[in-house]
């Protein structure tokens, strides 16, 4: 049986504090399940330009706190926090604190990090993917232990927490829902074993955004990604919620839109129309696409950019909870 649909909003660059609060409040009023942002640090300049990534103006942790304070029911999250950017003990404490102050509304997204030039720009070593994924796994273990009762005694290769009990404890017990995102076999295998929510994303092993990343998430490749999650999850696969970001969303009756957008990524229009990160067409057409993709992949949780919040509101109203 299919999971019911739910929808999120992701914002990158609020122009003001009032706009950030307003977006969170509007998302809540329109029935979105989650309000989130990514976790990137550097601003405009040659370092960011080399990555192909847009600017994220605000830091994730305090922005999540402000969004929680501005709302009453919507979940607050990050797609996803980079475990390399923070001491793991401090990260666990910050996450527990966010869940504490939001009264149990945290959705906890974690990832191994991938934007290579950002690492270089802020002076963090960009180690090979295997090391970063090892660190992610150890960090997840430390967070689980921190959220449980009892004194910590963890002395791993990448994490250390000895001789104290972590406080505060999160409101959600045993812990807030854990989202792990990625697009490569190992990270999706880890997600299958560990996560409550798996975010299907590009394979960003190139360390930057580009055409190759978009090409790593076609319909047929997404079938393979779901299998990697299954392989990691085993019998718990049925308990996992699959999420995806609809990066390329256009609500339109213009039949030429798909063809125009496909050319930007070197794809045929038929291929791009089926791309799991693309939703292009009328409200009715997009609703049909979402239902078809839920049947094919099991994806029931879709995150839209804040720029299309109002345009997709009828989709959210029609499909949420169905």
User: In whole numbers, what is the pLDDT of the chain averaged over residues?
Assistant: 96
pLDDT in tens, 140-149: 999 999 999 9
Helix 60-70 with 17-29: angle, nearest 10 deg: 60
pTM for this entry? 0.96
Mean pLDDT of 88-93: 98
pLDDT band at 42 (very low <50, low <70, confident <90, very high): very high
Domain-embedded: residue 279: yes
Domain-embedded: residue 10: yes
Structure tokens belonging to residue 141 = 């273990």
**Does 151 have pLDDT greater than 90?**
yes
Q: What is the pLDDT of residue 166?
A: 98
| φ and ψ of 125, to 5 deg | -60, 130
Q: What is the pLDDT of residue 239?
A: 97
- For 301-315, b/e burial (b = at least 16 CB within 10 A) is bbbbbbebbeebbeb
pLDDT band at 112 (very low <50, low <70, confident <90, very high): very high
State the Cα–Cα distance between residues 10 and 27, nearest whole angstrom.
10
Domain-embedded: residue 216: yes
**Does 187 have pLDDT greater than 80?**
yes
pLDDT band at 101 (very low <50, low <70, confident <90, very high): very high
Domain-embedded: residue 106: yes
Q: What is the pLDDT of residue 209?
A: 82
Q: How many domains does the chain have?
A: 1
Domain-embedded: residue 1: no
Q: Which domain holds residue 180?
A: 6-319
Domain-embedded: residue 182: yes
pLDDT in tens, 170-180: 999 999 999 99
Mean pLDDT of 198-225: 90
Mean pLDDT of 311-322: 98
pLDDT band at 83 (very low <50, low <70, confident <90, very high): very high
- Distances in Å between the alpha carbon of 284 and those of 46, 279, 281? 42, 11, 8
Q: What is the pLDDT of residue 80?
A: 96
- Residues 206 and 215: beta-carbon distance below 8 Å: no
| CATH number of the domain enclosing 21 | 3.20.20.30
**Does 1 have pLDDT greater than 80?**
no
Mean pLDDT of 200-213: 85
Q: What is the pLDDT of residue 12?
A: 87
Domain-embedded: residue 158: yes
pLDDT in tens, 219-277: 999 999 999 999 999 999 999 999 999 999 999 999 899 999 999 999 999 999 999 99
- For 204-221, b/e burial (b = at least 16 CB within 10 A) is beebbbeeebbbbbbeeb
Domain-embedded: residue 74: yes
Q: What is the pLDDT of residue 295?
A: 98
């Amino acid at each position: 049986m299919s999971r019911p649909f739910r929808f999120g909003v992701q914002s990158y660059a609020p122009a003001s504090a009032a706009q950030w609060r307003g977006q969170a409040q509007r998302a809540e009023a329109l029935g979105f399940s989650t309000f989130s942002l990514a976790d990137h640090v550097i601003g405009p300049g040659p370092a960011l330009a080399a990555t192909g990534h847009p600017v994220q103006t605000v830091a994730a942790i305090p922005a999540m706190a402000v969004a929680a304070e501005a709302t009453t029911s919507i979940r607050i999250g990050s797609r996803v926090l980079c475990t390399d950017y923070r001491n793991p003990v401090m990260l666990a404490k910050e996450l527990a604190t966010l869940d504490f102050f939001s009264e149990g509304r945290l959705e906890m997204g974690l990832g191994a990090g991938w934007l290579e030039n950002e690492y270089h720009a802020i002076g963090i070593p960009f180690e090979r993917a295997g090391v970063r994924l090892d660190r992610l796994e150890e960090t997840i273990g430390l967070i689980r232990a921190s959220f449980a009762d009892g004194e910590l005694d963890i002395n791993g290769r990448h994490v250390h927490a000895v001789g104290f009990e972590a406080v505060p404890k999160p409101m959600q017990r045993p812990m807030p829902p854990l989202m792990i995102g990625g697009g490569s076999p190992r990270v999706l295998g880890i997600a299958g074993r560990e996560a409550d929510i798996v975010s299907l994303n590009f394979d960003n092993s190139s360390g930057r955004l580009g055409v190759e990343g978009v090409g790593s998430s076609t319909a047929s490749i997404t079938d393979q990604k779901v299998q990697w999650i299954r392989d990691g999850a085993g019998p718990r696969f049925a308990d996992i919620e699959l999420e995806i970001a609809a990066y390329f969303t256009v609500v339109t009756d213009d039949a030429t839109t798909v063809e125009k957008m496909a050319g930007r990524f070197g794809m045929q229009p038929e291929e791009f129309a089926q791309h799991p990160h693309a939703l292009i067409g009328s409200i009715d057409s997009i609703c049909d696409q979402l239902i078809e993709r839920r049947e094919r992949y099991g994806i029931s949780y879709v995150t839209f950019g804040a720029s299309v919040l109002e345009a997709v509101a009828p989709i959210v109203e029609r499909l949420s909870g169905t």
